[in-house]
Structure 1
Amino acid sequence: MSDVLRAIRRRFLSCTRLVQGGFAILAGTVPAHAADNVVLDTTTMILSGLQRPEMPALALFVAVTCFSVVATIALLRTRLSAAATEAKLHADNQALQSETDRLRALLFAEPQVLIAWSAGDERPDITGDTALLMPQGQTAPAQRILAFGTWLHPEQALAMDHAVDGLRERGESFLLTMATSNGRAIEAMGRAVGGQAIVRIRELSGVRLELAETTQRHRDLLEETDALRAFAAAIPLPLWALRTDGTLRYANAAYAQAAEAENPADAIARSVELLDSEDRTAMRDALADGKAYRARLPVAIGGERRTFDVFAFNIGDGSVGMAVDASETVAFKDALTHMASAHRRMLDQLSSGVAVFDADRRLAFYNDSYRRLWDLDSAFLDSSPDDSSVLEKLRAMRKIPEQPDFRAWKAKLHEAYRAVEPAKDTWYLPDGRAISIVTTPNPEGGVTYLFDDVTEGLKLQRQHDGLLRVQRETLDNLAEAVAVFGGNGRARLFNPPFARMWKLSPEALEQQPHIETIEQWCRPLFEEAATWQAMRAAITGIDNREPLQLRLERKDGSVLDCTTMPLPDGATMLTFQDVTDTVNVERALRERNDALEAADQMKVDFVHHVSYELRSPLTTIIGFAHFLSDPATGPMTVKQSEYLGYITTSTNALLAIINNILDLATINAGAMTLDLGPVDLRKTVEEATAGLQDRLVHDNIRLAVEIDPSVTGFVADERRMVQIFYNLLANAIGFSPPNGTIRFSAWRENGAVCCAVSDAGPGIPPEMRDRMFDWFESRANGSRHRGAGLGLSLVRSFVELHGGTVRVDSAVDQGTTVTCEFPADQTFHRSAAE
């Protein structure tokens, strides 16, 4: 019994300690882990009591009671601790949110755009001032920023695409400085941070802009310096630079080779000299006086003595020099001197009068024929008179043509001293002679005069030419085709209508072919053997030379009246007169009138039908599409927005086709009017290109614009010019291969403004060139964009409306160039009816 009491006493004391621990937990003086230990001890005690049968029920009850008290107290403490933890977490969250707002305000204190891609997420998170990048007055969804071609130039947009791809795929950081299409300088920085690809775009201004511009200028200067160094190293002329003390500081490979050094470094190390000591002294003296040095000096290179033109200049803290090999020039000059001497000896033997005046316009040489032709005194000529003195003396002797303004006539004659090509003239002297004069500029300066008396020759030539001219003019101006055959049957004369009528080559007819040969050439148009036999007999026959009349109906549908006429000298004249027009004129006029009336009626009906039956409902569709796309109408799903975009794009394309058809019909009807005014070609090209940027970026096509500065003051209809350039560029984009280049160039030529668009596409086959400007003629072969076939038709109509022309130069697999020529002097308002 005493053992039981002792056990009860121990259990009671344990329960007491547990109760005290529970109150300590409730008071908060015991840590959470100690409270857990108290509950664990209570649970252990109860379980051990249940396992011992000698434990009295009272002790067990007390233990259970204590456990309940302790557990209740622990539960209350846990709930109090959870509430305190929740309050602390809420306060921490508020602090973090405040810190986030503060950091975001600091981040967007300056205008910028942040684009972040999470891993595996194709749609980025875009925040910031997107209006910073879009063109002036244009708004677009934030995702539109990713279409870099809409706010960047094509080359920079391509570089941005490549940089973003490298960042997302390989984590490659980048830093780009670019200019937007609205002229803003921006900086794009890409980094991989915390598993995200982040692109930061901000506008450059102030110090950052100056730093970017300075960096670009530094890069340009480095490139220019490298190019100059490469040029200096590669130029085949010796170049060198000296310090102020005269030592060699730089030499290129040509200098090292000329100075017989192993290489430029060896030449600099040993300070190898190219010139002799006396020449170097002269050069140093000239440079010391602040003058440039220039001299032609002999230089020994590889045991051979050559002549160089040496140039030296002071620069900065030293001097630079260059040597140009003039050996061939000196040799040519010597050879020219010898040749001139031989030439003068030969001229002295000519029967023609020759006078050579030097660069100072003084007589340097004359032959005896010259003295006798003008009857001049030898003493006067030997005194080397100047050209003007000789002319004054000849004028006093009345040996030159009478001139109302002798001074002006002499000045025009002396233009030969500044000319580069010989000039010919004929002087008709007061004594009735005709003198042929040839003025030839001399290579060393001066002029050589060559005089010939052509009086008799001109007289005979005038008589002969008069007869031939009368005969030729008579034949050439006949409406009939005429050919004259000699007694041997060969063609002696013919006029252009004969060659054109039978589609013969004038060059071949000038070889005087036989009538049988001409018959073979003409048989493709007319094969009737009996008729040809009759013509041959009339031309080559000796007996029965009577006129013959025949009618020929050729394969091309033409009708000819043929007549053979014997001539007194044994020749025969063959004439052909085209009477096809006389037979068919009434029918042709009637058919033409019917066709014109039908075409006019068809044109009127077509324009009326398009205007009211197509354009009106299409305009309604476009209006409702824009209404549905307005956010005020209500939200739409992504797929609905996509389908609505397809509808808008298709209706706009259809409306453009209808407008093109209406424009063509209006032009053909003579109702189109041009609104002429000054045109800025570069601005016009940019407006035409604006609607093609997506296609340029999509196909990675580069547009190169080259406008000559002389193309100013151009007058045209700016709106129609935009349409012309848009259609030409769209056609070129359609046929250009990906990654290709389209070139737009403009220049002035022969009083016209020429604009050309070139592509490197598959070219145009010859059989397509005649039809490429027809309505609805669409050449899909080689194009990625099939159109209605109205673009080039509209281009030609608008160009011709401006009074210009369109030319196409193309070859298969070599690209196509379309050139539009506009008159440069359009200063008035003009309509298609004019």
Structure 2
Amino acid sequence: MGLERTARLAAGAGMLVVGCLWAASAWPAGPETGAVLHMHGVASVSVLGGLLAFATILSLLHIRERGRWTRRDREQAAALDALRGAHDRAEMLLNAERQIIVTWDARTEPVIEGDVGIAFEGRPIAGAARRILAFGSWLLPSDAGAIEAAVETLRTRGTGFRLALRSQAGRSIEAHGQAVAGRALLRLRETSDERREIAELRETLDEARRGLAALASLLDAIPQPVWRRNREGGLAWVNMAYVAAIEAPSREAALEAGTELLDRPAREMVAREDLARRGQHPVPRLSAVVAGSRRVLDVFETRLETGRVGIAIDVSELESVRADLQRQMNANVRTLDQLPTAVAMFDDRQRLIFHNAAYRQLWDLDAAYLEGRPLDGEILDHLRAERKLEEHADFRAWKQGVLAAYRAVEANESWWYLPDGRTLRVVADPNPQGGLTYLFDDVSDRVNLESRYNALMRVQAETLDTLMEPVAVFAADGRLTFANRAFATVWRLDAALLEQRPHVEAVIEVCRRLAPAEEPWLDIRDRIVGLESRDTLACRLEVVDGTVLDCAAQPLPEGATLLTLIDVTASVNVERALTEKNEALEKAAQLRDSFVHHVSYELRSPLTNIIGFTQLLGDESVGALNLRQREYADHIMRSSGALLVIINDILDLASIDAGSLELQHEVVDVRETIDAAMRGIEDRLAESSLSVVLDVPADIGSVYADGKRVRQILFNLLSNAVGFSRAGDRIEVMARRTTTELILGVRDHGLGMPPEIAAQVFDRFESHTLGTRHRGVGLGLSIVRSFVELHGGRVHLETSPGAGTCVTCSFPLADRDPQVEAAE
């Protein structure tokens, strides 16, 4: 009975092991299990193997008690050893991870095996194994209710389940229940570490995905086409710039069509250049059609484990800029060749890389020698050997000082004095890329001019300083830049003030102590510092000591102003004396004119009475006269008439001087006016036996003038001719008309006048006999000139001793002249 019982226990244990193996193989794979499914199955076998080992031990104990070994017993012993080994392996697999196995059957209590610390965090709790099934004591309430319902369903119906639970301590527990060999099996396994690893892996995967998305967005944002090829060379991915370059509707369309940006020869060249770049060979530029236009590209493609990646950079504008830069460099070279300044450029190895024509001409160097790109030091040695550089006591030290400019940071300026007398301004400017640029400027002429200019300025300053007249120069900012000794002496300016270059306001403030008049100084200040008044100023300053200065402000170039002063005290005093004398003379002339005018009016009234009574006596209306009385009456009549003419002339001159004489213009017949004037002197012509010859054209016509004054003019001319003619002489009266004027003239054939007398005949009260008995008051020709000038005409006198005298009067023809109107 004992053997049979032991055999039955062994068979039951074997069935339990088979069931566990089936359950492990049938375990469904979830996302959390992954590669550990095999371990789960092994763990299940180990759990059930423990039960089998327990049964085997009971059998062995029973056999040992029996002490009887048979052949069958030995076989069972061998099987028992095998089961013991299986039990050990199952226990090892059961303890390989933290888990709890709970099994139920219909009649016995549940069996709990494994690490109960996963539920109570390793704390020693009494009856911990039994409290495992009190799920509410260590699981979250919701998870506890779920597993209790699932276990109940498993035990009653054999329905398996798989749940993910959370303990009150925050651990992750996986619960797996299933029916095995008529028993209910519950497996609780802690998955906290696995979940953490899976979460970390998921986070790493998400971060990688986000990085790839950001990289893809970045590649889509750049304007250069970028692509990736697979191992077979086909396009696996392209950015949006690539899509735009090949003018594809979308990225998917471009990848599906496999449209290439470069043609096959270009792609092959790129593949070859990828290898060539590893050998440091230059990459040639390619031409391709990008978005419908031909562009120049720099293409770079490199190999990866999964294929190739490449990028195409558009350098069309760079090529254009490079071409423009080359053209500008060529233009600069041509320009530098035209400059008079010698230019030479040396690289960082001090070799000549460029020179213009002025450099070659400056040193008279052979072009072939310069084309050989000599060193800077070699050129200096060559120039020294040719005696083209100044002699130095230590040429080596001087040369090292020149070449030290290659290590300088800023440009260096120096002066070279050549043996032939030339002076060079040498600028050594370091290049940013290394090397040096020399600028040789021949300033010999400028130095000579500057020296001459400085000498001239010193001479001018000394000259101005020795002048007796005060002179000062103010700059554009109104400050005193120069003042000679005379200026400082006149205005009593001390040397300390002059050295401070005072402003014009300060100078005026000092000067006004001696010349207090404000207005001249305001004008002077405006001319010096004013922005609008830049013209010449002349004013007069009166000093308190009686000195009078004429001040002149003359604008100078660059906004400067020259102020000069001249002492005119003596001339002002003379001018004042002359002015006072002139005023006295004018008052005397006014007194004379007033006296003449008054006397003339006072004489005219009694003279009129004399003439009237004389006419009464001559007419013998009051009684007969004897012959002598009649002669006396005629003599009184002629003398009174002459006196009346003189008085009228004096009144006319007085009216002319006062500006009150106005001409009465009318249409005047020229021939009748001449005849009327001749009738006024017929008695004098007969008395002197003179004849008058008229030279008047028949068509002389009329003139628009004052007829009375024209007759008076002719009468005075005829009277003057009669007075200076000898008995039997001829007097000629001439009249001519031109398009612009009427000419009247009277000529006598008397003695004529010398030049000194002819210059005075038109002056008032100038009378000369010239060997004749005629001597007037000297008003006739003066009246003639005054009346002619009132008409806007002029008088011309022609005379010489022994040739007679001719007086010609020209009258301008007015617009209302009858002859002019008739001609029109």
**TM-score between the two structures when normalised by the length of structure 1:** 0.30
TM-score (norm 2): 0.31
Higher relative contact order (CA 8 A, sep 6+): 1
